[in-house]
Amino acid sequence: MDNEPIVYIWADGVHSGLWGENDKFYALVIVGITACGKKRFLAVKDGVREPTQSSREALLSLKSREMNATRLAIGDGAMRFWAALEEVYPETRQAVLAT
């Protein structure tokens, strides 16, 4: 991570809808915004595991790279990201977008 703290993060999960798949593909994308408005691509975590576990691993990776707790996380209401966020960065406020 660079020295400029991340103020907001935006997270979105992508699920595959391909016919004939036995395992559901899940990818979590996290983008950060600094106080100066610079966008930072922070993470993409893919896998067929439980989406909460994938989200937790992505956030723990960011924390291990010394990403600060952000003021606000933004995402949609269907994501299992929120449970992982509360565990890893409990001080971050949540804004759920209406879908």
Average pLDDT over residues 61-65: 94
- Per residue in 11-53, pLDDT (tens digit) is 988 777 665 556 667 788 999 999 999 999 999 988 666 678 8
- Supply the DSSP symbol for 92: S
Report the share of the chain in percent with pLDDT over 90.
51
Q: What is the mean pLDDT of the chain?
A: 84
For residue 53, give every residue at least 6 positions away whose Cβ sits within 8 Å of its Cβ, in sequence order, or none. Answer: 84
The sign of the dihedral angle between the CA atoms of 42, 66, 70, 83 is positive
Residue 84 predicted with pLDDT over 70:
yes
Separation of alpha carbons 30 and 96, rounded Å: 15
